[in-house]
């Protein structure tokens, strides 16, 4: 688990978790959202993120990959949802059945990779807004 | 490193064999000179000692190689991570990194990994940096190399075939993910490579170039040309479907145009099926029109089944297609009837449900189960029909299939429990029609 650090910011940061085995994607999220003032925590597998759920203060949004080395992200959407995180599912290939499963489990959005960073930012902002609302 | 390991194993085996032969030879000579048992035991110990030394050398060599491999892999991962971070920072507007010659491959691999995740303006910035740092030119030069004599190379450069080295294929795969426009001529040439991995990289690269192009219409014909050349190679058409479908999903907004042309072409059935699979995955706007046009024009076998499956995935079937779907429920091929059953979920229930009731009594178990599952996915009316079928369908096997489908997918606990109606009562409420 790695977390971006901020200094001297009185306004509480919004928290974003990224659960993805792709280092490149985690770096992209870290870079883009870190600059935008989010507190980004990254996980390279499902179990470490689920373990962190029980000990860490929950974030606002989690970007959850489907195909992870230790399991299927879709199976654990509800676990993140129970802890108050708005779940945005991301994957290289999202089939219709997976879309149905994700929304049925409580995901607020599904994003297909490769991502346009401006679109990703807008959709995560919307997911965070929906979670607050 | 793999080749080095094979060489080391061979050498250490030779060393061990020589040691054993020498000591055994010495043993024989010693026995020939004298039958003194003390000296015989000593020579035996010497022989065993020789074998032990040889085995120890082998073990040390192996451990050394494994440690070297692990160290090398860790170094590659570290360098790749550093380069991925450098490209991501560059994509975010920071200064693009300068690349030393010895880092060309690592930087290129990292860029491929980043561009696999990234599109839009940030991806354009990375591609520009790859061009300016000479990485793209280097990869194109490496990927263009094929084995063989100069004359043979000239021949393959005309026909596009050839046997590329592993380095060449790796470079082409990096280019495929990076999708620089200047690599397109190379992709077109490499599509007919004798090396399947090389040819597939070319196919993926062309599709990705189309996906990243600002005006896709310019490249649609290029993609069609590459696919046609690729599957024109003997025996490739039959195995192309899964890879081609995946590659086509990388064509972005151009997927629909390419798939439309492929489906309407006279290419083999698996290629049309791959295009329809890609439409089922991507579901671009206009996919229904393409699929229904193809169905009305007349598809057969694998392509027909794929078209029905795509309609089921999209969930919408135009009225004019209903006749084709209903006709497919009588098709002699079991696979077509299975997909026709699923496609019935996309027609109005007053037409679809009576046909599903009939298919519940089909001779094939797969078709019966598909019909039952389709009924389960057909909203409230379908669910009611399924429950009725459990009790009232005249065919005993139809009742069983309906019962299995009512338990849901992958729920052995429910399957093991008793009555179907009580099991059905535990399921979540069906979707509204």
Give chain B's mean pLDDT: 81
Q: How many CB atoms lie within 10 A of CB A100?
A: 13
Q: What phi and psi values does residue B353 have, to the nearest 5 degrees?
A: -65, -45
Top-confidence residue, A3 or B47: B47
Q: Cβ of B119 and A95 within 8 Å?
A: no
Per-residue model confidence (pLDDT) at position B16: 74
Q: Is the pLDDT of residue A60 over 50?
A: yes
- Per-residue model confidence as pLDDT tens digits over B19-32: 777 777 777 776 66
For B91-104, how does the pLDDT look when each residue is reduced to its tens digit (9 = 90+)?
A: 888 887 888 888 88
pLDDT of residue A24: 93
State the Cα–Cα distance between residues A130 and A127, nearest whole angstrom. Answer: 5
Kindly report the nearest CA distance between residue B313 and chain A, in angstroms: 6
Count CB-CB contacts under 10 A for residue B50. Answer: 20
Confidence class of residue A2 from pLDDT cuts 50, 70 and 90? low
What is the rounded distance in angstroms from the CA atom of residue B321 to the CA atom of residue B340? 11
Which of B39-48, B53-62, B274-283, B378-387 shows the lowest mean pLDDT across its residues?
B39-48
Question: What pLDDT does B429 receive?
Answer: 38
- In the predicted structure, residue B432 carries a pLDDT above the cut 80: no
What was the ipTM of the complex prediction?
0.85
Portion 360-419 of B in contact with A at CB < 8 A = none
pLDDT for res B407: 82
Is residue B14 predicted with pLDDT exceeding 90? no
* pLDDT of B431 over the 50 cut: no
Q: Are B172 and B202 in contact (CB under 8 A)?
A: yes
Q: Are B60 and A2 in contact (CB under 8 A)?
A: no
Q: Has residue A22 got a pLDDT over 90?
A: yes
Residue of B118, B123, B276 to mutate for A, most A C-beta atoms under 10 A: B118
CA B280, B284, B289, B293 torsion-angle sign: negative
- CA A81 to CA B277: how far, in whole Å? 32
Q: H or E element: which one contains A68? A: strand A67-68
Q: Is the pLDDT of residue B186 over 60?
A: yes
pTM given for the model: 0.75
Pairs across A and B, CB distance < 8 A: 69
Number of Cβ atoms within 10 Å of the Cβ of B287: 23
**pLDDT at residue B276 tops 70:** yes
């Amino acid at each position: 688990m790695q977390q971006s650090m901020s200094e001297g910011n009185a306004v509480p940061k919004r928290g974003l978790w990224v659960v993805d085995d792709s280092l490149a994607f985690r770096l992209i999220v870290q870079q883009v959202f870190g600059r935008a003032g989010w507190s980004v925590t990254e996980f390279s597998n499902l179990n470490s993120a689920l373990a962190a759920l029980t000990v860490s203060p929950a974030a606002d949004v989690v970007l959850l990959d489907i195909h992870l080395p230790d399991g299927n992200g879709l199976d654990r959407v509800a676990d993140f949802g129970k802890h108050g995180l708005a779940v945005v599912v991301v994957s290289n290939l999202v089939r219709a059945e997976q879309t149905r499963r994700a929304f049925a489990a409580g995901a607020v959005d599904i994003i297909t990779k490769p991502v346009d960073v401006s679109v990703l930012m807008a959709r995560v902002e919307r997911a965070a807004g929906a979670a607050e609302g | 490193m793999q080749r080095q390991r094979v060489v080391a194993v061979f050498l250490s085996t030779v060393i061990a064999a020589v040691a054993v032969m020498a000591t055994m030879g010495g043993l024989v000579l010693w026995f020939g000179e004298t039958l003194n048992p003390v000296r015989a035991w000593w020579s035996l110990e010497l022989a065993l000692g020789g074998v032990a030394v040889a085995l120890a050398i082998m073990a040390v060599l192996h451990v050394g190689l494994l440690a070297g491999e692990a160290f090398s892999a860790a170094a590659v991962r570290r360098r790749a991570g550093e380069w991925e971070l450098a490209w991501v920072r560059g994509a975010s507007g920071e200064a693009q990194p300068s690349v030393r010659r010895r880092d060309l491959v690592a930087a290129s691999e990292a860029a491929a990994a980043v561009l696999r995740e990234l599109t839009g303006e940030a991806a354009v910035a990375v591609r520009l940096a790859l061009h300016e740092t000479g990485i793209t030119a280097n990869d194109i030069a490496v990927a263009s190399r094929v084995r063989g004599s100069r004359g043979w190379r000239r021949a393959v450069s005309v026909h596009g075939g050839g046997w590329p080295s592993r380095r060449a294929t790796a470079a082409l795969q990096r280019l495929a993910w990076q999708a620089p426009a200047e690599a397109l001529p190379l992709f077109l040439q490499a599509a007919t490579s004798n090396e399947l991995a090389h040819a597939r990289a070319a196919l993926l690269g062309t599709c990705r170039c189309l996906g990243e192009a600002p005006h896709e219409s310019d490249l649609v014909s290029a993609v069609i040309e590459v696919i046609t050349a690729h599957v024109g190679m003997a025996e490739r058409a039959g195995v192309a479907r899964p890879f081609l479908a995946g590659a086509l999903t990388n064509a972005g907004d151009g997927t629909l145009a390419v798939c439309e042309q492929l489906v309407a072409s006279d290419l083999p059935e698996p290629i049309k099926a791959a295009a329809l699979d890609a439409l089922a995955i991507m579901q671009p706007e206009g996919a229904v029109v393409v699929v229904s046009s193809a169905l009305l024009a007349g598809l057969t076998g694998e392509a027909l089944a794929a078209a029905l499956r795509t309609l089921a995935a999209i969930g919408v079937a135009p009225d004019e297609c209903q006749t084709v779907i209903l006709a497919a429920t009588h098709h002699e091929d079991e696979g077509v009837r299975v997909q026709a059953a699923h496609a019935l979920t996309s027609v109005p229930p007053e037409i679809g449900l009576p046909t599903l009731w009939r298919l519940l009594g089909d001779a094939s178990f797969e078709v019966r189960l598909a019909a039952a599952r389709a009924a389960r996915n057909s909203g409230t009316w379908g669910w009611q029909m399924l429950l009725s079928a459990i009790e009232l369908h005249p065919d005993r096997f139809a009742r069983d299939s309906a019962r299995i489908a009512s338990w849901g997918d992958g729920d052995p606990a429910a399957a093991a429990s008793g009555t179907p109606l009580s099991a059905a009562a535990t399921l979540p409420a069906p979707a509204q029609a």
